[in-house]
Amino acid sequence: MKYNITHRTTYRYKYPVSVGNHVACLKPRSLANHQSARSRVQVYPAPVTYSERVDFFGNTQCFFTVQEPHRELVVEAKSEVKVHNNAPWQVDNPISWEEVARRLPIDQTREGLEAYQFGFESPRIRVRQEFADYARNSFTPGRPMQEALHDLTTRIYKEFRFDAKVTNVRTPPEEVLKKRRGVCQDFAHVQIACLRSLNLAARYVSGYLRTYPPPGKPRLIGADASHAWVSAYCPGSGWLDVDPTNNVVPSDGHVTLAWGRDYSDVSPLRGLVLGGGAHTLRVAVDMEPVETDEQISIQVQQSA
């Protein structure tokens, strides 16, 4: 599947902003299952400085400064990404979750050393007994890692309710666990907290999720969504992605932007402004599927 993706963020301020320094994380990664063919970020008003660098986790960060007085800031990222279905998880040699936890501190492979850093607390995720207790209903003694991970994903999907009104970007996972309500960011934080509280490694993944209109309804431009899910490490299998909000293994409907320890590492847009006062925020995401030459060729052959 090939997508043209537009992510448009609009800030409107009550009073003029004289100076704004911002960081955007809006350029998709190129991975084994999807490639970013092109990506650019445009800012209005035009910034006086703009630069890009790759951060510690391998994500592209865009830095820019706007010095022109403005009451509206628009940041628009346009990307072209080709996504392939993920290969099924390898389960030929199932490994227990306890063995995964035991190996993590002593795994000297490149992948193991990278994974180790995701087993610790991070700015927004704490290791707590309450998370371990919740997870243990899925991570029972001797249970294979992949099976337990699937079960925890399903439980969060069934036991938590999607509700955008009860949390915000600063809501701690402890509160989400008690209320059993939140959004995709909250569910990802809770699942990561559960895994790390069992001495397992898990990272926060930000990206996009393709949505589908109801039957008979037109596709609405800008109605797709920024999304978040979880990736857990398992020796021999690598990183295993799961989406607790939808109870699925991410496939060609998911596009990865970035990953880090938690949301604070991969926030789509953050910064400091001088002035402005109160503000409103509007975000519109559009994932437009585009037929590839290969798909067109198949359709022509079928028609013939």
What CATH number did the domain enclosing 60 receive? 2.60.40.2250
Number of domains in the chain: 2
Q: Please name the residue ranges forming H helices in the chain.
A: 97-103, 110-116, 129-135, 145-159, 173-179, 184-196, 263-266, 293-303
User: Is residue 123 domain-shared with residue 217, that is, in the same domain?
Assistant: yes
Q: What is the pLDDT of residues 279-295, one digit of tens each?
A: 999 999 999 998 654 44
Range of the domain at 32: 2-84+267-297
User: Is residue 79 domain-shared with residue 101, that is, in the same domain?
Assistant: no
- Is residue 255 situated within a structural domain? no
Spatial separation of the C-alpha atoms in residues 138 and 145, rounded to whole Å: 10
Confidence of residue 301 (pLDDT cuts 50, 70, 90): very low
Percent of the chain with pLDDT over 70: 91
For residue 54, give both structure tokens.
Answer: 């790759």
- Is residue 188 situated within a structural domain? yes
Mean of the per-residue pLDDT values of the chain: 90
Confidence of residue 298 (pLDDT cuts 50, 70, 90): very low
What pLDDT, on the 0 to 100 scale, is given for residue 253? 87
Residue 59: pLDDT over 50 = yes
Q: What is the pLDDT of residues 179-222, one digit of tens each?
A: 999 999 999 999 999 999 999 999 999 999 988 777 777 665 54
User: Measured on CA atoms in the order 56, 63, 289, 158, is the torsion positive or negative?
Assistant: positive
- Is residue 260 situated within a structural domain? no
